[in-house]
Amino acid sequence: MATIAPELPLERARSAPRRLARIRPGRIVVHLALLFFVVLWTLPTAGLLISSFREPDQLAVSGWWTALAPATIREAARLPVAEAQVEENGVYVIRGSVLEPGSNRTIETFGTTNATLGDTPAGGTATVRVGGEITLESDGAFVWTSPTPFTHTTGPRVYYAAELQPRATFENYATVLTANGVGRSFINSMTVALPATIISVMVAAFAAYALAWMRFRGRTFFVVSVVALMVVPLQLALIPVLRLYNEVGSVLGIPGKGYFGVWLAHIAFGLPLAVYLLRNYIVGLPREIMESARMDGASHFQIFTSLVLPLSIPALASIAIFQFLWIWNDLLVALVFLGAQDDHVVLTGRLIDLLGTMGEDWNLLTAGAFISIVVPLLVFFGLQRYFVRGLLAGSVK
């Protein structure tokens, strides 16, 4: 049987003197080994989270582990054409800036060809091929002077290496939530997950009570069937259920795909595990309580609603968490039964779309992915105790 669930985050800290006394080479190896695993397991998610707050320019040129260091980027800007010149004391001058205001860049070196980009430090002067000399300051301002009038009709390019200061931004989130439909999908995921979770826990609770405490023929057979159904691959249900939906849909004149079908499918697919876990819990409730209630003339319905349900709150909570996480994280059921209409797509499906259409726009992908995992993470950290308890009850038997 399951032992009592360990309370993960709350380990008893050993007292300091004892800890000091225990510093031995062997113990250091243990610390380092665990640290190695923890870092390895945390890095991928940390990378995603950090990247989602970086500017697109930064993200494209440097790894997220350098997020706090300024990045060096190489860019080019086109200088103005001859019309922009003014004559000052017999010298022809074009002024301007190669950087937009608020571009967050500091120019380090520049040149008039890609090859000589590193040759002139900011503030220095370089010769321009179409005539004259250009002085470029680190803030992007330039002065381009020539003793003879400028005549060029296409502006030549100036190449520069600039330092990009790191800056945290919510821009990616704003973009992905609105422009890419992630916000809409967030609501869709909620619309799918909440009703399906609540209803399936309710249906499972009644069935679990019947299987645990009511006498009827075939009870063992049903319990064993539930155990068997727990491992049936979802793949077997897809085609028959979809055909069924299409038939029902054509009879009723409604589309076969939609929220209603997904709710029912999720309720059903989660039932075996939910019934199994709840039955295991309810069967372990003290027999005396049940029997004395029966003696007092309470019906099974009354016992269930007024006695068993309140006593089963922890188990119900852990099953609700499982169900919610599984539905929220599901891709296959939504893909098959919800269809690909843009206004119905759930978060997992939206992420797949984003992977396909903007596979290299990591600023949007990382932000979108984080939005999709933030709800499970909150549920998980907030209710970890129940989650662990449910896991243990489900597996250790």
Partner 1 sequence: MLQQGLYAALTIVLGVGVFLAYFWGANWILDRALASNARMPHALAQRRDNLRSRIRPWLFLAPALIFLLVYLVYPVFETFRLSLYDRLGQDFVGPDNYTWAIHDATFWQAALNNLGWLVIVPALSTIFGLLIAVLADRVWWGGLGKTLVFTPMAISFVGAAVIWRFVYAYRGPDMPQIGILNAFVTWLGYPPQPWMQLTYVNSLLLMVILIWIQTGFAMVILSAALRGIPGETIEAARIDGASEVQIFFTIMIPQIAGTILVVWTTITIIVLKVFDIVYAMTNGENDTQVLANLMYRWTFISGDTGRGSAIAIVLMLAVLPVMIWNIRRFRAAEGTH
Q: 91 or 313, CB closer to partner 1?
A: 313
Q: 87 or 360, CB closer to partner 1?
A: 360
Q: 94 or 327, CB closer to partner 1?
A: 327
Q: 85 or 363, CB closer to partner 1?
A: 363
Instruction: Give the shortest CB-158-to-partner 1 separation in angstroms.
Output: 22
C-alpha 181/C-alpha 346 separation (Å) is: 10
> Are the C-beta atoms of residues 160 and 76 closer than 8 Å to each other?
yes
Instruction: Give the shortest CB-167-to-partner 1 separation in angstroms.
Output: 17
C-alpha 7/C-alpha 389 separation (Å) is: 9
Q: 86 or 236, CB closer to partner 1?
A: 236
End-to-end CA distance of the chain: 5
| Beta partners for residue 223, in sequence order | none
Instruction: Give the shortest CB-45-to-partner 1 separation in angstroms.
Output: 6
Q: 19 or 78, CB closer to partner 1?
A: 19
Instruction: Give the shortest CB-132-to-partner 1 separation in angstroms.
Output: 33
Please name which of 134, 82, 60, 74 lies closest in space to residue 105, comparing C-alpha atoms: 74
Q: 69 or 91, CB closer to partner 1?
A: 69
Inter-residue long-range contacts of 303-307, CB under 8 Å, 24+ positions, other chains counted: 303/213, 304/206, 304/209
Residue 89 gets the label, from left (phi > 0), alpha (psi -120 to 50) or beta, of left
Instruction: Give the shortest CB-199-to-partner 1 separation in angstroms.
Output: 5
Q: How many CA within 13 A on the CB side of residue 306?
A: 10
Instruction: Give the shortest CB-182-to-partner 1 separation in angstroms.
Output: 12
Q: 141 or 207, CB closer to partner 1?
A: 207
C-alpha 216/C-alpha 220 separation (Å) is: 9
Phi, psi of 143 (to 5 degrees): -125, 125
Q: Which sign, positive or negative, has the C-alpha torsion 10, 14, 19, 22?
A: negative
**H-type alpha helices, the chain:** 16-21, 25-52, 56-61, 171-178, 182-213, 219-229, 235-252, 259-283, 287-295, 300-303, 309-311, 313-329, 332-337, 347-357, 362-382, 384-395
C-alpha 12/C-alpha 202 separation (Å) is: 37
> Are the C-beta atoms of residues 358 and 175 closer than 8 Å to each other?
no
C-alpha 100/C-alpha 94 separation (Å) is: 17
Q: 6 or 147, CB closer to partner 1?
A: 6
Instruction: Give the shortest CB-251-to-partner 1 separation in angstroms.
Output: 16
